[in-house]
Amino acid sequence: MTTVSSPRLRWGILATGGIAHTFTSDLRTAGLDVRAVGSRSLDSAQRFATEFDIPRAHGDYASLLADDDIDIVYIATPHPMHAENALDALAAGKHVLVEKPFTLTGEEAERVRVAAEEAGLLAMEAMWTRYLPHMMRIQELLAAGALGEVRAVTADHTQFISTDPAHRLNALELGGGALLDLGIYPLSFAWDVLGAPVSVTANARLGETGADIDVATLASYANGALATTYSSAQGVGPNRAAIIGTDARIEIDPTWYNATGFTLTDRSRDVLETFHCPDAGRGMQYQALAAEQIIAEGRRDSDRLPIAETVAIMRQLDDIRTQIGVRYPSEN
């Protein structure tokens, strides 16, 4: 990625959960400027600030957003809070990088998109996999036609998280379910390779709370290509992804959505290229660097994941939830 010479943005971290720890650690690894953190508890904010050597800790989100010493806010709250937090940050004049899923619903995503456009600010989904080095190289190969015509994409995202009905992932009021936590990764990957599908068929297994535990999808595209995805919150699979073309295929190493590598193989099974990511922690810093570059160039949207595509993917998730019978309490 080409870098732009400009002053570093001053980052604020909104919420102090596990994903915020991973993101901030990668920001520190990349030497980015983290100025403040906000939490619902001052103690939590202070502990986080001490851990990452952050100058200021705020005991509520409003104080963080009112901090004049930050330019961009990373939003790491639970799913149902993303839209409200993003809208508040935009209203305070801050750019936002919003942890996936961008919002709970497509309607909420559209509200954030409109607010960012009206404010002239960047609102970007933190789908960090789009910006990883191996994904950037894959895009170069696709653009060069190295695979011929792409006929199929397949990807899975499976983890054993918890069977506890009280766990966040099993709580519908918190946007629980495998789809929004895990399934969004392979679905976004399919969009990245093939664009918008013409149809998506979904099936799922629901748990006792009504949250989806396992979700499988089959998408078809205008050119006849197909994409299959599988996600599970109660089973550990290979976590592999592949792109199959008429001339060659790409097999991404497990775990495909982390900073990893891939192999490009032709129809004769000859290896044409192998790629390995540099040792870069989890790799979440690449999306932050992309956000900084976008803003430094005077742009307000990501070419790797335009906000219109983020909205469209959220609407696809709405459709999948309708098919599998999952509805959040806030939608009633």
**Residue 3 CA: distances (Å) to CA of 290, 293, 325:** 9, 7, 45
DSSP 8-state assignment for residue 11: E
Cβ–Cβ < 8 Å for 134, 262: yes
Catalytic residue among 94, 100, 130, 157: 100
- How far apart CA 110 and CA 263 sit, in angstroms, is 37
- Tell me phi and psi for residue 56, to 5 degrees: -130, 140
Q: With 0-12 CB in 10 A as exposed, 13-18 as middle and 19+ as buried, what is 192?
A: buried
The string of DSSP codes covering 214-254 is EEEEEEE-TTS-EEEEEEESB------EEEEESSEEEEEPS
100 is an active site residue = yes
The label of the residue with tokens 């097999």 reads 251
Going by C-beta distance under 8 Å and a sequence separation of 6 or more, which residues neighbour residue 210? 172, 326
The alpha helices in 9-128, defined as continuous H runs, are 18-29, 42-52, 61-65, 82-91, 106-119
Q: Catalytic residue numbers?
A: 100
